[in-house]
Amino acid sequence: MIVLDLLLAGLVIGGIYALISIGLNLQYGVARVLNLAYGEFLMLAGFGAFFAFERLGAPPLLTMLVGAPVAFAASWLLFRFVLHPLLKRTTDQGKREIDSILSTFGLLFVLQGVALAAWGATDRAYSYLAIPVNVLGVVIGANRLMVLVAGLVLAGAVFAFLRYSAVGRSLRAIAVAPRTAPLVGIDVERYSALAFATGGALAAIAGILVSSFWPMNPTVGAALTVKALIVVVMGGIGHVLGGLIAALILGLAETLATLLFDSGLVTIINFAIFSIVLLWRPQGLFGGAGTTSGARTGLRVPKEAAAAALLAALAVVPLVANPYWLSLMVNILAYVALATGWAFFSGATRYVSLAASAFFGVGAYAVAILAPHYSYALALLAAVAVSIVLAAFVGLATLRLSGMYFVIFTFGLASLVSAIVTWWEFNIAQKAGQHLDLAITTTHIYYQLLALCVAIIALWIVRDRSRMGFALETLGADETVARQVGINTMALKVGTFVVSSVVMTLAGAILAPRWSYMDASMAFNPQTSFLTVIMALLGGATSVWGPMLGVVPLMLISDYLSVKLPEYFSIVLGLALLCIVFFIPDGLIGLLRSGHAGIRRQRLADLLEALAARLRGRTPGASPHLPAPTSANGPGHATAIAPPPKGQDRDATGP
């Protein structure tokens, strides 16, 4: 009976995961959009079902008849007028992937912020079909059984549609070879929009059904997206039945972990299985071979004199600033370190890391746990050691594959580390959170952060002037070429990622003494990753000075918004990221470079025009060095240099 209990409970959980992942499999497998805002569509559909049930008495199945078409239309419009124009700007698949990741990451925060502003952070739940059903002697809620059946039916229906229908075969052709599909008459844009919209409709169906027993709140979407991504990658991207089997495996593993160990280990078990699959069969249980992507890196912008003057000015800030401005400068330096550390790796390689909050939290918690009992210096060393091991593990597991796998793993890394810390606190330490009382002032923190910023900027400049900088430039431009010319791309990527992670860890460790109390939700706040990415991109992630240029204005804006409009903070920053991706993809540094290049081009054009005017004004034979050009009519006829009159033959000669 215990085995049957375990099996059915695992199948129910697996059915839930299968249901929430089918739509994402279509969106990424066919439309080639890694939609990090996917969970937000489930969340909004769940809220719609809640209000329809509570206020109108409409059951979820009826809400689904309205919600699915609405989600289909909204997703189609999103793809057609937002994502597709963004993606068709370039044919570089790596750049397209980055743009889809960053734009949907911004959309995630916009939708989450809208939900928070509209409905608050409280859970919303209702009871529908909460009737016990006896299945082979095991009691299961009818609503959960409904979700299991829906997951199995939809997975089978989507599989049959893709395999046996003409439209499905076209979608599969796009998934396999999007560049050559138009050669056989397939409208890639139209079918990609169809796949993305269908994925949105399936997300709405999943959100509506799951809301019958799963409480909804505005922040639940990210967790659902992580679950769906794990299932999609484990099963093989674009492989619907593979995703179903992967979901059932995860469901059984979670149930077994809860029965044998502790429910707090569920997230850890999920990522452990995910890591094993990536190391053993990176293309997924049923997928094709993984690929590696890359893009160009940035140019050096050495400005030592300006940097020395800026450093001297920053060194005297604590001597003249009042407590408010000193606190604001500490925040600015912390994000300069985070954004520069992030760009040190992601700007050069174009592998987008979303793990800033994970490494920041590791540093903060290491100091919170060790510094009160041992020493601050030992806590810093321990934080660095943990970050090196964690970054090396993540890098070795994912960086040998395409950037998409790396993004997925780092997207959920903060949740994984936070789950480990929370489990340790409740089961080993027997307390929640950490209290800090260290004799470290704000001035001490300021100078430590300033030293960290100087160190990473100096390391970046030295790197770009070395062979390592050339190797990274080659890797970023074309990773295949980099391997062919003998560059150890794996070691280069992992080493650079480790350095980047250590910097972000030290930023968290140095900043930790500012708090008198810390818990996992504070240390591993996903907003840290979001702000780090948006600041680096605003300034320009391919330049050593770009992150600094992006941090200052955004910190001033975010400081104002967090006080004056806290409920709209997430919305504004999400929209800011979308604007950056659409309008200034190379950041402020890119705009400055374009302006300088335009001025240089204009000056060159003016010089050439002046030279041409002087040449037109010379008489034949005036040059002491060059003989006068002659025409076919004889030596006495000079060829006209000026353009022929309109309508005259180009070979005509002058009088």
pLDDT in tens, 49-79: 999 999 988 998 899 999 999 999 999 999 9
CA terminus-to-terminus distance, the chain: 108
Return the closest-CA partner of residue 87 out of 103, 105, 107. 103
pLDDT at 598 over 80: no
Q: Are 249 and 273 in contact (CB under 8 A)?
A: yes
65 versus 309: the higher-pLDDT residue is 65
CA 183 to chain centre: 32
% of the chain at pLDDT higher than 70: 82
Task: Output the pLDDT for position 639.
Answer: 38
The band of 315, judged by pLDDT with boundaries at 50, 70 and 90, is confident
pLDDT in tens, 611-626: 666 666 654 444 444 4
Return the closest-CA partner of residue 28 out of 164, 208, 225. 225
Task: Output the pLDDT for position 262.
Answer: 67
% of the chain at pLDDT higher than 90: 22
Structure tokens of 162? 């893709």
Highest mean pLDDT among 12-26, 328-342, 473-487: 328-342
The band of 650, judged by pLDDT with boundaries at 50, 70 and 90, is very low
pLDDT at 628 over 60: no
Task: Output the pLDDT for position 635.
Answer: 40
pLDDT at 577 over 60: yes
Query: How big, in percent rounded to 5, are the helix, strand and coil portions of the chain?
Result: 75, 5, 25
Task: Map tokens 């910190």 to a residue.
Answer: 555
Question: Where are any strands of DSSP class E within 21-152?
Answer: 132-135, 138-141
- Of 28-37, 170-179, 272-281, 491-500, the range with the lowest mean pLDDT is 272-281
pLDDT at 630 over 50: no
Task: Output the pLDDT for position 644.
Answer: 43
Structure tokens of 645? 């009159």
Return the closest-CA partner of residue 245 out of 258, 254, 232, 256. 232
> What's the CA gap between 534 and 548, in Å, rounded?
12
Q: Is 170 left (phi over 0), alpha (psi -120 to 50) or beta?
A: alpha
3-state secondary structure 162-189: HHHCHHHHHHHHHHHCCCCHHHHCCCHH
Q: Are 91 and 236 in contact (CB under 8 A)?
A: no
Question: Helix 489-511 to helix 467-477 angle, to the nearest 10 degrees?
Answer: 110
> What's the CA gap between 73 and 183, in Å, rounded?
28
> What's the CA gap between 146 and 205, in Å, rounded?
12
The band of 627, judged by pLDDT with boundaries at 50, 70 and 90, is very low
The band of 342, judged by pLDDT with boundaries at 50, 70 and 90, is very high
pLDDT in tens, 268-289: 777 777 777 766 766 656 655 4
Q: What is the mean pLDDT of residues 425-452?
A: 87
Q: Around 468, how many Cα atoms within 13 Å sit in the side-chain half-sphere?
A: 13
For 89, the 3-state DSSP assignment is: coil
pLDDT at 292 over 70: no
Residue 136 phi, psi (nearest 5): 55, 40
Q: What is the mean pLDDT of residues 81-94?
A: 78
The band of 11, judged by pLDDT with boundaries at 50, 70 and 90, is confident
Task: Output the pLDDT for position 272.
Answer: 76
- Of 92-101, 115-124, 573-582, the range with the lowest mean pLDDT is 92-101
512 secondary structure, DSSP code: G
- Compute the mean pLDDT over every residue in the chain, rounded to the nearest whole number: 80
Structure tokens of 25? 């499999």
CATH of domain 304-593: 1.10.3470
For 401, the 3-state DSSP assignment is: coil
CATH 1.10.3470 domain span(s) along the chain: 304-593
134 bridge partner residues: 139
Q: What is the mean pLDDT of residues 569-586?
A: 80
pLDDT at 235 over 90: no
628 versus 29: the higher-pLDDT residue is 29
630 bridge partner residues: 638
- Which run of H or E residues covers position 434? strand 434-435
Task: Map tokens 């970050």 to a residue.
Answer: 387
342 bridge partner residues: none
Question: Radius of gyration of the chain from Cα atoms?
Answer: 29
